[in-house]
Amino acid sequence: MSVIQDTIARVRQLDVEQIEFQQAVTEVLETLEPTAERHPEFVKAGIYERIVEPERAVQFRVPWVDDKGRVHVNRGFRVQFNNAIGPFKGGLRFHPSVNMSIIKFLGFEQVFKNALTTLPMGGGKGGSDFDPKGKSDHEIMRFCQAFMSELYRHIGPETDVPAGDIGVGAREIGYLYGYYKKIRNEHTGVLTGKGLEYGGSLIRPEATGYGTVYFAAEMLATRGLDFKDKVVAVSGSGNVAQFAVEKATQMGARVITVCDSSASIVDEKGISPEKCCFIMDLKNNRRGRIKEYAQKYDCVCYEGENVWDVIRQQGIKVDIALPCATQNELNAENAAALVRNGCFCVAEGANMPSTPDAVRAFQESNILYGPGKAANAGGVATSGLEMSQNSLKMSWTREEVDKRLLIIMKSIHKACLESAEAYGKKGDYVVGANTAGFVKVARAMLAYGIV
Ligand code: NDP
């Protein structure tokens, strides 16, 4: 057996119940066979075996008290996966589905994604199985404080710099940062996604969604295409989805779908800038459900349905798909239906939203397929820019940060294409992203010796 197959088998044996982690490891390592052939020094130094083991994985108790005085206990996690090229960096997710497998899959993906951004950031991820839905502001604040009362021991501006992810937005980052500042008595760039008043960066909220659209635009340009007049399907209605809708619309597309975990809406007229503002207010301020959009704008709402199921069942034709909700939201059946109905470009705003079979369906049909670790890297890249501004004690303008984001997304796209070609898989963005990210991290690990 090759070192790659050996390593996959070992992860499956040791991390038996970590299904999502096994999926991510398999997806990445299977594309790395040619790197092992070309770099026997990586094999000799045990890089493949080492890269699938986190430097450190912490699990902790998070006790907190609700508004009625009842005590709750949640689990907190921080997985510091790899810091070969810079401090650990990656978001915090608050969602009931969070467990060690999900956090390890996200941390593992983050290692390669961060390497692609051109910035010096290692990979990590964290979170809790806490469900922010239906909680009061005070409950959210108390939970964030309880979470930080343990997390603070493990993080630091030169050690590990968390950010937001599902369920962790501006409000939560504010509470987390406020508590860190209080107990450490220091004002440093230990979290990104901060508010502008206390060290945040312009464009950070927009960055993942905008970056996904910039990446898709680069992919489209390789075939002489663009967003103008294209019909676009977006899933999710959170941070990434909102700004993917906004940017795709600015580029002339007609975005016809969004969803949350309880319903999907289809608006054939398109989600105009005004309607997009409604979604932002609904989700970020009023914390309401997406079915309110259908009531306000008189369009179809499919309760309990996922966007990709609706598109398949209703035979809806879309040109471009931007999955921006969560992992494994888009299965093979729905991928086949998208392709059959003429979809020619998929760019993943979410992490690992397409199941392995769905990825295969996209790749076999030869449509443009941009995996999350490349397409959604704009978020963490702009977090890197926030860290730079914090270190410099400066703030760049909106135009400056957006310009840098665009340059980074173009350079990620170029690196993917170049690396894919170098490894004999021209135009394959999965091979390109995995090999380019991996080789950079592997070279750094090699330089350190066995540590
Ligand atoms: P948010 O919490 O802001 O939004 C998540 C959205 O997805 C919500 O609309 C949520 O609905 C919906 N959703 C979650 N689970 C499901 C489900 N099972 N079915 C349908 N809809 C669902 O998170 P983000 O927008 O920040 O993150 C979305 C994705 O992008 C994640 O995969 C994340 O890891 C990835 N990502 C995020 C980055 C960032 O900068 N924020 C950076 C890179 C990647 P509901 O409100 O009902 O829960």
234-248, pLDDT tens digit by residue?
999 999 999 999 999
Q: Are the CB atoms for 1 and 9 separated by under 8 Å?
A: yes
Q: Whose CA is nearest to atom 39 of ligand 1?
A: 165
List domains and CATH numbers for the chain. 1-53+428-451 (1.10.285.10), 54-186 (3.40.50.10860), 207-366 (3.40.50.720)
> Which pTM does this prediction carry?
0.97
Ligand 1 centroid, distance to 32 Cα (angstroms): 29
Q: Residue 257 phi/psi, 5° resolution?
A: -135, 150
pLDDT at 291: 98
Q: Residue 303 phi/psi, 5° resolution?
A: -70, 140
Q: What is the pLDDT of residues 356-369, one digit of tens each?
A: 999 999 999 999 99
The closest alpha carbon to 380, from 121, 55, 31, belongs to 121
pLDDT band for position 1 (50/70/90)? confident
Q: What is the pLDDT of residues 159-206, one digit of tens each?
A: 999 999 999 999 999 999 999 999 999 999 999 999 999 999 999 999
Ligand 1 centroid, distance to 325 Cα (angstroms): 4
Supply the mean pLDDT for the chain. Answer: 98
Alpha carbons 294 and 307: distance in angstroms, whole number: 14
Between CA 160 and CA 432, with CA 237 as vertex, the angle to 5 degrees is: 55
Instruction: Quote the percentage of the chain above a pLDDT of 90.
Output: 100
Pocket probe for ligand 1: among 240, 310, 380, 408, the residue whose CB has the most ligand atoms within 8 Å is 240
Decide if 125 is catalytic. Answer: yes
pLDDT at 23: 98
Pocket probe for ligand 1: among 112, 135, 165, 206, the residue whose CB has the most ligand atoms within 8 Å is 165
Q: Which residues line ligand 1 (CB under 6 A)?
A: 164-167, 169, 208, 236-241, 259-262, 306, 324-326, 329, 349-351, 376, 379
Q: What is the pLDDT of residues 14-39, one digit of tens each?
A: 999 999 999 999 999 999 999 999 99
Alpha carbons 313 and 303: distance in angstroms, whole number: 14
pLDDT at 99: 98
Q: Whose CA is nearest to atom 28 of ligand 1?
A: 325
Inform me whether the pLDDT recorded for 425 exceeds 80. Answer: yes
97: tokens are 């589905």
Ligand 1 centroid, distance to 236 Cα (angstroms): 6
Q: Residue 340 phi/psi, 5° resolution?
A: -60, -35
Q: What is the pLDDT of residues 120-155, one digit of tens each?
A: 999 999 999 999 999 999 999 999 999 999 999 999
Q: Are the CB atoms for 283 and 240 separated by under 8 Å?
A: no
Instruction: Quote the percentage of the chain above a pLDDT of 70.
Output: 100
Residue 156 CB-half CA count within 13 A: 6
pLDDT at 246: 98
**Parallel/antiparallel/unpaired status of strands 254-259 and 231-234:** parallel
The closest alpha carbon to 115, from 370, 441, 449, belongs to 441
Alpha carbons 82 and 120: distance in angstroms, whole number: 12
Length of the chain: 451
Q: Are the CB atoms for 380 and 407 separated by under 8 Å?
A: no
Q: Are the CB atoms for 187 and 181 separated by under 8 Å?
A: yes
Pocket probe for ligand 1: among 112, 210, 261, 308, the residue whose CB has the most ligand atoms within 8 Å is 261
